[in-house]
Amino acid sequence: MGLFGRKNKSSQVAKDRLKLVLIYDRQGTTTNNEMLQMMKRDLMAVISRYVEIDEREFSIDLTNQMGEDGMTSRLTANIPIKSMKQMVRNTKGN
């Protein structure tokens, strides 16, 4: 469910794409730049609902590292926030 009681379809799409990237990565396939770009667009769309971001400086990166427990993946996001947006709560019916 979303922040104010409604489902966020875009956020679910972003989560699903993240899972897909991690699955591909754990199988040893190469990183799919197109998929990362789709995730970036989805994340920007969802986050932009709540805060104003600097889209030119927004970046995501997927890295792999071999550790004691095997290969691990990390998705890192750099999301410069310009300002918070005013949110209006729907108080009808409650």
> Can you give the pLDDT at residue 73?
79
Do 22 and 15 form a contact (C-beta atoms < 8 A)? Answer: no
Burial of 38 (0-12, 13-18, 19+ CB in 10 A): middle
Q: Is the pLDDT of residue 4 over 50?
A: yes
CA angle at 9 for the pair 63 and 47, rounded to the nearest 5°: 55
Q: Which residue did the predictor score with more confidence, 5 or 41?
A: 41
Question: Residue 92: phi, psi to the nearest 5?
Answer: -70, 135
End-to-end CA distance of the chain: 17
Which contiguous run of DSSP H or E holds residue 60? Answer: strand 59-67
Do 42 and 13 form a contact (C-beta atoms < 8 A)? Answer: yes
Domain ranges of the chain: 9-84
Q: Is the pLDDT of residue 38 over 70?
A: yes
